[in-house]
């Protein structure tokens, strides 16, 4: 008798165990997919509720690190001022030659030169139609 061939069935066969493993893996994947869908839905809801951006989440440069299907499209976050963008200011001083200044920040050279020439700041106030 061949010692590798069992005459008595003592338990499940390798093929049966592999079939069981495959079935359990399929069930696990289905359950994971269902759980992931729920988590993603809650995350999206929070992103919209709080107005978060990709930058807020620290995902701006880490796109390749995120698992497949994890891409999030966030609603744009409204901001009061745009960073780094200069806003137009009302002209307070003008020299009549095209030089203007709002009165905020460093004094322009034309303004300093006019003061050095004896003009007063009141003389350089911009006219309402200028």
CA 61 to chain CA centroid, Å, is 9
Instruction: Let me know: does 93 contact 111? Beta carbons within 8 Å.
Output: yes
For Cα atoms 106, 108, 113, give the angle at the middle one, nearest 5 degrees.
130
On whether residue 83 sits in a domain, the answer given is no
Q: What pLDDT shows up at residue 130? A: 44
On whether residue 56 sits in a domain, the answer given is yes
Q: Cα(first)–Cα(last) distance of the chain, in Å?
A: 113
Q: Which residue range forms the structural domain that includes residue 120?
A: 93-124
Q: What pLDDT shows up at residue 31? A: 95
On whether residue 42 sits in a domain, the answer given is yes
| Residue finishing a domain among 26, 47, 65 | 65
- Residue holding tokens 């009549």? 96
Q: What pLDDT shows up at residue 98? A: 87
Distance between CA atoms of residues 100 and 127, nearest Å:
11
Count of structural domains, the chain? 2
On whether residue 74 sits in a domain, the answer given is no
Q: What pLDDT shows up at residue 5? A: 64
Q: What pLDDT shows up at residue 108? A: 94
On whether residue 24 sits in a domain, the answer given is yes
Is residue 57 located within the same domain as residue 20? yes
On whether residue 8 sits in a domain, the answer given is no
On whether residue 119 sits in a domain, the answer given is yes
Is residue 59 located within the same domain as residue 102? no
pTM, to two decimals: 0.36
Q: What pLDDT shows up at residue 54? A: 84
* Burial (Cβ within 10 Å: 0-12, 13-18, ≥19) of residue 43: middle
| Residue finishing a domain among 46, 65, 84 | 65
On whether residue 72 sits in a domain, the answer given is no
pLDDT means over runs of 10, the chain (130 residues) = 65 92 96 94 90 83 52 56 71 89 92 93 81
């Amino acid at each position: 008798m061949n010692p590798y061939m069992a005459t008595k069935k003592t338990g499940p066969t390798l093929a049966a165990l592999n079939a069981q493993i495959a079935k359990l893996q399929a069930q696990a994947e289905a359950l994971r997919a269902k759980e992931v869908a729920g988590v993603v839905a809650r995350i999206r809801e929070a992103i919209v509720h709080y107005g978060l951006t990709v930058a807020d989440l620290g995902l701006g440069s880490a796109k390749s690190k995120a698992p497949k299907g994890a891409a999030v499209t966030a609603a744009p976050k409204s901001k009061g001022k745009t960073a780094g963008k200069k806003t137009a200011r009302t002209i307070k001083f003008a020299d009549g030659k095209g030089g203007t200044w709002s009165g905020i920040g460093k004094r322009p050279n034309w303004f300093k030169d006019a003061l050095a020439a004896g003009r007063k700041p009141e003389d350089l106030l911009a006219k309402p139609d200028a």
